[in-house]
Structures are given as structure tokens and as C-alpha cells.
Amino acid sequence: MSLSLRDALIITVCVVVHLAYRYRNKSKYPLPPGISKWPIVGNAFQIPASQQHLFFKDLGEQIGSKIFYLKAFSQDMIVINDVKIAQDLLDKRSSLYSSRARTPMLNDLIGINYFFPFMQYGDEWRSHRRIFQQYFSPKNMQKEEERTVDFIRKGLLPNLYETPEKFLEHLLNFVGGLITATTYGVQIHRVNDPLVEYQEHVYGAGEKAATPGQFLVDVIPQLKYVPGWFPGAGFQNVAREIKEMTEEVMDKTYDMTLKGIVRCPVLSEKFGADAFVCHPQDDGSTSDCFVSWSLENNSGQANYDSQALRTKQIAAAIYKAGSDTRLASSTTFVMAMLLHPDVQRKAQAELDSVVGHDRLPDFSDRPHLPYINAILKEVLRYNPPLPFGLPHLTSGEDVYEGYYIPKGAMVFANSYAVLQDEGTFLNPRSFKPERFMNADGTLRTDILDPESVATFGFGRRICPGAQLALSTLYLMFSSVLALYDITPEQDSAGKPIHVSPEFGGHSIISQPIPFRCKITPRKGKNVEGLLKDYLGHEFI
């Protein structure tokens, strides 16, 4: 059947009107500035798989804009290198900017859609976050601070005294063990806890998968349908292995709280037949923790089974979300003290003046230690642990400063660029806690504070565990400096080994490149006497 000229004109007008309506915003407002794109793939192969925060900071300077646009195949991307723009959009217009993008590797193949930091915005995310916030509320802070004191005094400080050369292992065991005890209430081996090591192994693999563009399937989503045996589809096998390990460790750690003591075949195979036993507390039970609190809080409710499942899922997310950032900041602190002995000596003088020589620092000292607090702020600013954040996703169209922002765009707030902005921080690549201090020795309130801005995200997606993380880092920093000197290690000729402030990794976390240093008791400090009640324990 042939169309008449009249019919053809009607159809043409309808199509034009439809397209004009559909793309009316796109034609009225320009997209933010960007760089030239390749046909079909856009900018997909111009974006590096790691150190993206550095790439996008430099790219923004080349473009000459704090907000710019890229496209990877059909995915729109908005990058923000400015705190005001990030707050204008992610904070003040959070109803449009609070969802998360789905990535084929993480969401479709591995399937960890239940980790609430990665969840799309909606009722399920709100339920997970509400449960988390109820437990980690101010009324529970004292209990968690007491647990932090135990892990520092019974674990970290004795370990640094006995085997200081293994400080990186001790920091991992301290951070991972504390979060595991907080979440599941089990005792932790003071040295090299196998459960901590296994969680690090499993969730570390998942962390790599969370990095945008790390796997080709995230660039070409259609590849998720390709079988694992097909050449170039090795990501299928990686995804299957991560999925199995994640579900295994999530189930086993959760069961420990329920059963008190459990032998885990997976861990026994990895660490030896008798290497792993989950020890309950001395009375045979697990201590107060997130899982026991949540299950008790929901007991007797009609929806108990669904709430119990959420509890298990949130518990797994607590470890993943909390361990990497604290560990990155802890190792950054040690490196900074090594490279800046003047800062170290000034902090120790403050500690000696406030705390004295006959006891260890505690949380009551914090308001009286402004320089220690300035060091904490500078550590977060100098190397933000999550430098490129997790991408937000727009749930609708928007216009900002004359620029069109499409619905479904991934929005990246580059925390590194914000905290390294020369307009905000003079000589941003210098480690200088004094930038947060007034001349009278008090903390400044007229400067961007990394404890509350950028480090832990923006808007409704800001990390709900930030205050607990900050209190943990404060006590760790002050306790280590109160007892120990951090100095360069020496080579065979007795010369100091040079350490460069280098950071890297193939994940979303920015960690210092492994380095060596000496950690020794401070002269005039009776370290053994201060630790006499804590040395020799097998468990914390």
C-alpha cells in the first residue's frame, strides 16, 4: 500500500513534533563543556581504569571548567570538581541526585544489589539506612568508643610494641577486627585474625569490581550475555567467583552471631584445618553488636524474616564500607608522620602537655587536643580515602547555570579535586595541619572542613558512619603518637631509606604505596608499664 502525499506529510509532522517534544530541553540548553568524542564509543576508552580522580582533576583544568560532560557509549557522565557545584546539586537538589547507577559487573553479574551504599534510591535503601542509623546513633556511641579503646590498647599498641616492622598488618587487623566485633560481636585474634584476612580478600575483590570502567563489560554492557568460555570474557569467571565468596562470607559471619561458635570450611581450607575458630565471649555468647541488636529489636514482628535478611545484608556492607576508608587514612597518617617529623614532635608535645606521661589518651581529651584534630583533618584532605566517591545517578532532567543535565546521568563528585583546590587550600600538595589552626592555637571555623565536607560524600548519600570513623581515627592517631616515634628505616649501610608520598591502587580507594618505617617507644615513656595490663592476650 502506497502513502499519499497528505498521509506522508501528516506522519512527518507527527514525527517532528514528537522528536521536538522529546528533546526540547536538549535543544534549549547546552550540555556542560567536554572533550571530543569518538563515534559510537564516545569517551569510553579515554577514561583510565584507575586513579580517575587525578585524571578528571587535570581534565577539568584543561577544559577550563569545574563541571564537564563525557559520554561512554550511551551513558551520560557529569564530573564535578568544585565544592559549591557539588553542594548546589547533590545537597540542595538531592531529590534528583540521590540514586546510584547500575553497573553490569557489580549489579548484574556479581549481584550485590543488597549493599546499601550501592543501592538505587528508594524504599529498600531507606530501610537499610534507617536500620544502620538507629544502631550507630549518638546513644550508642559511648559503647562503640569503649570498644575502640579496647582494640587500640589490647591490640594495636601491644602489636606495635612487639613487632613494629609489621605495622601495616597490625593496622589492618585493628581496623578490620574492630569493625567485625562491632558488627558481629565475636572475639578477634590480636594478631592476624583469619576472619579479618578472609573478609579483606573477598571484599577487596568486590571493591575492584566497583571501580567504574575496571572491566570491559561495564563499558560494553551487552558483553554480560557472553559465556565465560568465550575469548575475552574472563570477567564472567571473576564475577562468579566474587559472587560465591561474598555470599559465603556474608552467611558465615552472620551465623557466628547466631551460633556463638562456628567452624568455617572455607576458612579452614584457606588457613589450615585448625586455624579458624570463631570464639564467643567468655560467657559463651556474642557481645552487644549490630547483628544481635537488630535481631532483638525486630523479634516478634510479623516481618521478622525480611528484617533478618536486611540485617545480614547491612552487616556485610558495614565491613566493606568502613574498613577500607579507615585503613587508608591510618596508613596515610603513619606516612605523614614519617615524612614530617616536625609535625610529629609538635603533636607529641601537645599530648604530653594535656595527657601527661602516666596514662593513655582517651576520648575526653579530644576537645583539648586541637593540633591532633588538625592532623586528622589534614590526613583526610591530603589523601581522601574515597577520592572520586561513588557515582550518583540523576532521576530526572535538570538545568544548572545554563547547562543541561540529562536524566539517567552518572554524576561524579571529585572529592580529591575539592580538597586539593588551590583556591581553598594554599599549596594543597603540602602536608600542613597548621592550615586548620588559628594563631592562638584554636581550630579554624572559616575554612572548608574535610571532616564534614567532601570526604564522606554529599547529599543523602553521605556516609552515615562518618562520626564513628572520625572518633576511631582520632584515638588511634593520639594513642600511637603518645607512645611511639615514627622514623625512617635504615638500609644495610645505616642510611635512611627514602619514602615518597605515593598513592595508588586499582580500586575506588586511595592507599599509600606500601612503605617501610621504624616505630619505636619514645624516650622517657614507660611504654611497657602503660601496656602491662594489655600485653600477652591472644584475643581482643
User: Per the structure block, which three cell numbers stand in for 186?
Assistant: 565475636
User: Per the structure block, which three cell numbers stand in for 40?
Assistant: 559510537
Known binding residue 463? Answer is yes
Quick count: other Cβ atoms within 10 Å of Cβ 186? Answer: 25
Asked whether 49 and 214 are in contact (CB, 8 A), the reply is yes
Q: How many CA atoms lie within 13 A of 141 on its CB side?
A: 13
Helix (H, G, I), strand (E, B) or coil at 515: coil
Question: What sign has the CA pseudo-torsion 237, 238, 242, 243?
Answer: negative
**Distance from C-alpha of 358 to C-alpha of 307, rounded to nearest angstrom:** 47
Helix (H, G, I), strand (E, B) or coil at 96: coil
Question: Alpha carbon 285 to chain centroid distance?
Answer: 31
CA-nearest of 122, 95, 237, 118 to 508 is 118
Q: Which amino acid is at 88?
A: D
Q: How many CA atoms lie within 13 A of 422 on its CB side?
A: 4
Asked whether 390 and 103 are in contact (CB, 8 A), the reply is no
* Angle, alpha carbons 370-372-377 (nearest 5°): 90
Asked whether 433 and 370 are in contact (CB, 8 A), the reply is no
Asked whether 518 and 486 are in contact (CB, 8 A), the reply is yes
**Count of helix runs (H) and strand runs (E) in the chain:** 19, 11
**Distance from C-alpha of 104 to C-alpha of 45, rounded to nearest angstrom:** 17
Report which secondary-structure segment, H or E, holds 76: strand 75-80
**Distance from C-alpha of 289 to C-alpha of 451, rounded to nearest angstrom:** 26
Q: At what angle do helices 341-354 and 304-339 cross, to 10 degrees?
A: 110
**Distance from C-alpha of 306 to C-alpha of 124, rounded to nearest angstrom:** 11
Q: Which amino acid is at 440?
A: D
Quick count: other Cβ atoms within 10 Å of Cβ 307? Answer: 18
Asked whether 179 and 323 are in contact (CB, 8 A), the reply is yes
Question: What sign has the CA pseudo-torsion 185, 187, 192, 194?
Answer: negative
Residues marked as binding?
Answer: 463
Residues marked as binding for heme?
Answer: 463
